[in-house]
């Protein structure tokens, strides 16, 4: 957020800085331009001074060359200057030195100035050669004078180069004024040179008068232009110079050279003309210097003003920028601090306070508990403060909705628990009724059907137990003594429909603490039923249990079923690792959720993995705290051991192959087929197996097992050597007669079946009858006693009231949908 706020504040600042910088840069550029212009105008002083000296040298050279051409002067030795010019050259050289010193720093300036300066420099470099050629140019002075004219001309061009731009017309006019006057002075110098050359030669050439007439007309035009552009002060200076006696004497003397009215041009006396004309040139130089000084003063003042304006503008820009940055930093820090506080509050509510509130709603009574929502951390009156207040309102609304949902879940949960327990009570009564019917039934087919109903009722009771597990209710069955793990496994096998397909190999000497027996039986039953339901009927389910180095026990249930995809297997393992809340998936895949909750309740780790051949392996790791040492007396000895063997024999034959349930056809004594007496091949309820194991030498039957809400107890076997068809868990075998003879030493079999296993002959192991069997006397059923029925109903509703008084959890139920590969559990 700091970066974003910084960007929001920096972008306008940078934009302002760019615009201000551009404006300041323009002002700085204008100041540099004016400063350079002032320097160039200042160089104009040296340029005009150098032009004045070169004009004097040129004009005097023209007179000396004219005298040489006319023979009026004696020639000089080659390489030596003319005597009259020896005093002129040093003065011009000093003027050249001052010019170079002033103009050379500007030689790297703008292109036009640099080009003009290069031309001047080239002309001045050739000046010594021109001077050296003067003694020999008496008959042809034009090339020498032309070089002087060229040097003066490029100097005047350089004098006119300074330009302040179109925005400074007054500065341009100031330059134009002294340039125009310099042109007038140059024309006056040429007139002086022409007259001085004619005076030294003693005559006029044919072209001299024409040139003089043209120069005089140019002089008048130039003076007129200067008067139009010059300031009043400059005009006054020129007028003062023109009224000077020396200036007037020069004008009058020059007028004698005009040819007008039949008067011929007079040839002037050389020395007198040169002296008077030089005085007039000095007066013109003063006017010219004044015009240049005016331009320099104006340029310096404008350059100073521009520099001050630039500095003020730059300072103002920096001050505004600094104030904007400081203000932006202050505002940004305030906004960032408010946003950090709002962010901290939001994270605290989302990650700490709201989860803690939801967790408390799961563990405490939402009606009695008090839940407070803290006020907002940001108390400002801006939009951020409003957002903070809105967030607190949302938090308060979320807590309110959570409270309402918790109350609703608790009510719905209580409703489902009550319904499950009512169903459980009905199933218990159904099981008691089936017990009575099985004891009184002698028809094998009818007894087999009763056993199937008994098994279905037991599975219905397990389904009710699953609902109670998802609701967070404790198990309704308790065992107060350790139980063998093999017995727990048999009890889990007895809870499923396809128990015949289960093959197990459980290590001996492993005992489970009594309080965990019910949950482990339920957990293993769910896994076994899943393995048997989602595998082919012609396959078996292998169960192996063995001790681990860490003291725990690993139980692996291996099936050869359909298997699961890697993604579905991963999601199933996530559910098994962390029990989720009951939702729609709980009703569609109840087994998976029940196993997850039971495992979390007892600290058991359950995981699924693929066998690589289409099946699944359910690995159940029992921790050390669920294991117990063998109780005293040892259940492996005594009458109970024989009864466990009976139960195990009902489930598995030799090599672990299970005998099928239901009636079987065996060979009779006459060799014809007869129907074997129907009996229960295996107990259909877990408590039958566990009660049988707990009762092995454990005392009176009332301590074997108990079921909340049902006070009946299983009956233990009477003798240690009970036959295979003896009573199991209180069920009397059909057709078993008591005799005094011992059974045969070698078991009687009816051959072997397709699997190579012996076929047992019904009642072949019983002792020989000593008296005919008594005919069965039909049971006389009496009409129910109204008082007895009233007492049963009173006990029934008493049990319902006790069930409703228990704390429950809500289990949201949803309609079942299409089954997928994840719905195996």
> Can you give the pLDDT at residue 76?
64
Of 733, 700, 692, 715, nearest to 491 (Cα)? 692
| Cβ atoms < 10 Å from Cβ of 13 | 13
- pLDDT tens digits, 275-308: 999 999 999 999 999 999 988 888 888 888 888 8
Q: Give the N- to C-terminal CA distance of the chain in Å, as an integer.
A: 48
Structure tokens at 491: 């009890």
Most confidently modeled of 79-83, 191-195, 360-364, 478-482? 191-195
> Can you give the pLDDT at residue 240?
92
> Can you give the pLDDT at residue 565?
86
Could you tell me the maximum CA-CA distance found in the chain, to the nearest angstrom?
199
For 327, 356, 404, 410, 708, the CA distances from 804, given in Å and listed in that order, are: 68, 28, 21, 12, 15
- pLDDT tens digits, 329-369: 887 777 778 778 877 878 887 787 778 777 777 666 666 56
Asked if 522 contacts 462 with a C-beta cutoff of 8 angstroms, the reply is yes
Predicted confidence (pLDDT) at residue 614 exceeds the cutoff of 50: yes
pTM of the model: 0.47
> Can you give the pLDDT at residue 581?
73
Of 402, 401, 192, nearest to 281 (Cα)? 192
Predicted confidence (pLDDT) at residue 273 exceeds the cutoff of 90: yes
| Cβ atoms < 10 Å from Cβ of 426 | 15
| Preceding peptide of 633 cis, ω within 30° | yes
Predicted confidence (pLDDT) at residue 669 exceeds the cutoff of 60: no
Asked if 751 contacts 758 with a C-beta cutoff of 8 angstroms, the reply is yes
Structure tokens at 264: 């011929």
Task: Using a pLDDT cut of 90, give the percent of the chain over it.
Answer: 18
Task: Using a pLDDT cut of 70, give the percent of the chain over it.
Answer: 71
Asked if 159 contacts 117 with a C-beta cutoff of 8 angstroms, the reply is no
Of 246, 177, 175, 259, nearest to 216 (Cα)? 259
Predicted confidence (pLDDT) at residue 166 exceeds the cutoff of 70: yes
More confident residue, 542 or 70: 542
CA gap 28, 21 in Å, rounded: 10
> Can you give the pLDDT at residue 371?
65
Strand 749-752 vs strand 511-512: parallel, antiparallel, or unpaired?
A: unpaired
Predicted confidence (pLDDT) at residue 552 exceeds the cutoff of 70: yes
> Can you give the pLDDT at residue 732?
33
Structure tokens at 673: 């087929």
Predicted confidence (pLDDT) at residue 765 exceeds the cutoff of 70: no
CA gap 524, 249 in Å, rounded: 143
> Can you give the pLDDT at residue 797?
60
Structure tokens at 612: 């690589």
Least confident range from 86-100, 354-368, 557-571, 744-758: namely 744-758
Strand 502-506 vs strand 541-547: parallel, antiparallel, or unpaired?
A: parallel
> Can you give the pLDDT at residue 153?
93
Predicted confidence (pLDDT) at residue 53 exceeds the cutoff of 90: yes
Predicted confidence (pLDDT) at residue 673 exceeds the cutoff of 60: no
Alpha helices in 105-206 (DSSP H): 111-132, 142-159, 169-201
Least confident range from 159-168, 370-379, 462-471, 525-534: namely 370-379
Predicted confidence (pLDDT) at residue 572 exceeds the cutoff of 60: yes
CA gap 40, 673 in Å, rounded: 141
Of 718, 720, 711, 653, nearest to 682 (Cα)? 653
Tell me the sheet residues that pair with 503.
542
Q: What is the mean pLDDT of residues 587-604?
A: 83
For 112, 556, 579, the CA distances from 407, given in Å and listed in that order, are: 94, 41, 22
The dihedral formed by the CA atoms of 220, 225, 231 and 234, expressed in degrees to the nearest 10: -30
> Can you give the pLDDT at residue 690?
60
Least confident range from 409-423, 442-456, 505-519, 648-662: namely 648-662
Least confident range from 23-27, 134-138, 222-226: namely 23-27
Structure tokens at 43: 């160089």
Asked if 65 contacts 140 with a C-beta cutoff of 8 angstroms, the reply is no
The helix (H) or strand (E) run that includes residue 554 is strand 553-558
Predicted confidence (pLDDT) at residue 741 exceeds the cutoff of 80: no
- Angle (CA) 744 745 751, round 5°: 80
Contacts of 148 (CB under 8 A, 6+ apart): 54, 57, 58, 61, 130
Of 358, 312, 292, 321, nearest to 45 (Cα)? 292
Predicted confidence (pLDDT) at residue 824 exceeds the cutoff of 70: no
Least confident range from 163-172, 606-615, 749-758: namely 749-758
- Angle (CA) 177 182 185, round 5°: 130
CA gap 584, 589 in Å, rounded: 9
> Can you give the pLDDT at residue 578?
86
Cα of 732 vs its chain's centroid, Å: 73
CA gap 568, 564 in Å, rounded: 6
- Identify the band that residue 311 occupies on the pLDDT scale cut at 50, 70 and 90: confident
Residue-level length of the chain: 825
Asked if 123 contacts 150 with a C-beta cutoff of 8 angstroms, the reply is yes
Q: What is the CA radius of gyration of the chain?
A: 65
Predicted confidence (pLDDT) at residue 705 exceeds the cutoff of 50: no
**Mean pLDDT, the chain, as a whole number?**
75
HEC sequence for 563-614: CCCHHHHHHHHHHHHCCCCCCHHHHHCHHHHHHHHHHHHHCCEEEEEECCCC
User: Would you put residue 128 in left (φ > 0), alpha (ψ -120 to 50) or beta?
Assistant: alpha
More confident residue, 731 or 626: 626
- pLDDT tens digits, 373-425: 777 767 677 777 778 778 778 877 877 877 777 777 777 777 767 877 788 78
> Can you give the pLDDT at residue 289?
92
Predicted confidence (pLDDT) at residue 239 exceeds the cutoff of 70: yes
- pLDDT tens digits, 312-334: 888 888 888 788 788 878 877 77
- Identify the band that residue 84 occupies on the pLDDT scale cut at 50, 70 and 90: confident
The helix (H) or strand (E) run that includes residue 341 is helix 270-348
Give the start-to-end residue ranges of the domains of the chain. Answer: 2-321
Phi, psi dihedrals of residue 687, rounded to the nearest 5°:
-70, -25
């Amino acid at each position: 957020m700091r970066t974003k706020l910084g960007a929001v504040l920096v972008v306008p600042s940078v934009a302002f800085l760019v615009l201000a910088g551009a404006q300041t840069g323009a002002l700085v550029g204008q100041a540099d331009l004016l400063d350079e212009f002032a320097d160039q105008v200042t160089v104009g002083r040296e340029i005009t001074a150098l032009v004045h000296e070169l004009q004097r040298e040129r004009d005097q050279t023209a007179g000396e060359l004219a005298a040489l051409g006319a023979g009026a002067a004696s020639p000089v030795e080659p390489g030596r200057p003319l005597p009259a010019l020896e005093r002129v050259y040093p003065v011009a050289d000093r003027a050249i030195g001052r010019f170079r010193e002033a103009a050379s720093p500007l030689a790297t300036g703008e292109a036009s100035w640099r080009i003009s300066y290069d031309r001047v420099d080239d002309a001045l470099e050739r000046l010594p050669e021109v001077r050296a050629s003067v003694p020999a140019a008496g008959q042809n002075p034009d090339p020498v004078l032309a070089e002087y004219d060229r040097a003066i001309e490029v100097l005047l061009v350089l004098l006119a180069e300074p330009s302040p731009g179109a925005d400074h017309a007054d500065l341009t006019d100031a330059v134009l004024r002294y340039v125009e006057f310099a042109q007038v002075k140059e024309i006056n110098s040429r007139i002086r040179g022409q007259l001085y050359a004619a005076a030294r030669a003693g005559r006029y050439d044919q072209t001299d008068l024409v040139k003089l007439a043209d120069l005089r007309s140019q002089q008048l035009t130039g003076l007129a232009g200067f008067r139009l552009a010059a300031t009043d002060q400059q005009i006054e200076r020129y007028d003062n110079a023109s009224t000077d006696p020396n200036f007037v004497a020069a004008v009058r003397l020059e007028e004698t050279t005009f040819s007008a009215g039949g008067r011929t041009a007079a040839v002037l006396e050389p020395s007198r003309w040169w002296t008077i004309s030089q005085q007039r040139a000095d007066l013109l130089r003063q006017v010219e210097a004044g015009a240049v000084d005016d331009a320099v003063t104006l340029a310096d003042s404008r350059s100073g003003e521009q520099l001050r304006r630039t500095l003020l503008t730059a300072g103002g820009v920096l001050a505004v920028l600094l104030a904007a940055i400081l203000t932006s930093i202050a505002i940004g820090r305030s906004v960032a601090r408010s946003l950090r506080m709002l962010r901290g509050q939001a994270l605290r509510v989302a990650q700490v306070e709201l989860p803690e509130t939801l967790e408390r709603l799961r563990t405490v009574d939402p009606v009695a508990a008090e839940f407070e929502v803290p006020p907002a951390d940001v108390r400002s009156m801006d939009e951020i403060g409003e957002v903070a207040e809105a967030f607190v309102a949302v938090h308060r609304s979320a807590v309110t909705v959570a409270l309402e949902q918790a109350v609703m879940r608790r009510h719905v949960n209580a409703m489902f628990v009550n319904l499950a327990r009512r169903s459980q009570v009905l199933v218990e009564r159904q099981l008691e009724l089936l017990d009575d019917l099985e004891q009184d039934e002698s028809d094998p087919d009818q007894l087999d059907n009763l056993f199937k109903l008994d098994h279905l009722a037991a599975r219905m009771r397990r389904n009710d137990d699953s609902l109670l597990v998802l609701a967070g209710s404790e198990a309704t069955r308790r065992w107060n003594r350790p139980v063998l793990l093999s017995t727990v496994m048999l009890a889990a096998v007895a809870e499923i429909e396809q128990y015949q397909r289960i093959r197990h190999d459980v290590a001996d000497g492993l005992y489970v603490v009594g309080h965990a027996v019910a949950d482990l039986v339920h957990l293993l039953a769910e896994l076994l039923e899943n393995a048997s339901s989602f595998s082919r009927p012609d396959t078996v389910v292998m169960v192996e249990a063995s001790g681990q180095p860490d003291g725990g026990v690993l139980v692996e249930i291996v099936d050869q079923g359909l298997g699961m995809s890697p993604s579905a297997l991963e999601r199933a393992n996530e559910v098994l690792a962390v029990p989720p809340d009951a939702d729609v998936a709980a009703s569609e895949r109840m087994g998976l959720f029940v196993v997850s909750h039971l495992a979390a309740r007892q600290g058991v780790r359950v995981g699924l993995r693929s066998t690589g051949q289409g099946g699944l392996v359910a690995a159940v790791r029992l921790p050390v705290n669920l294991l117990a040492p063998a109780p005293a007396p040892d259940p492996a000895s005594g009458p109970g051991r024989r009864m466990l063997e009976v139960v195990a024999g009902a489930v598995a034959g030799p090599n672990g192959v299970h005998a099928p349930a239901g009636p079987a056809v065996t060979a009779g004594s006459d060799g014809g087929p007869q129907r074997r007496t129907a009996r229960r091949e295996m107990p259909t309820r877990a408590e039958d197996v566990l009660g049988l194991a707990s009762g092995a030498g454990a005392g009176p039957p009332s301590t074997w097992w108990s079921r909340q809400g049902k006070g009946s107890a299983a009956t233990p076997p009477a003798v240690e050597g009970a036959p295979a068809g003896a009573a199991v868990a209180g069920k009397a075998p059909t057709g078993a007669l008591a005799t005094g003879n011992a059974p045969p030493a070698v078991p009687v079999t009816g051959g072997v079946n397709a699997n190579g296993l012996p076929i047992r002959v019904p009642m072949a192991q019983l002792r020989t009858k000593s008296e005919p069997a008594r005919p069965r006397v039909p049971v006389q059923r009496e009409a129910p006693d109204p008082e007895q029925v009233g007492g049963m109903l009173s006990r029934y509703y008493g049990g319902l009231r006790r069930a409703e008084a228990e704390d429950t959890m809500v289990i949201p139920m949803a309609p079942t949908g299409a089954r997928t590969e994840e719905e195996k559990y």
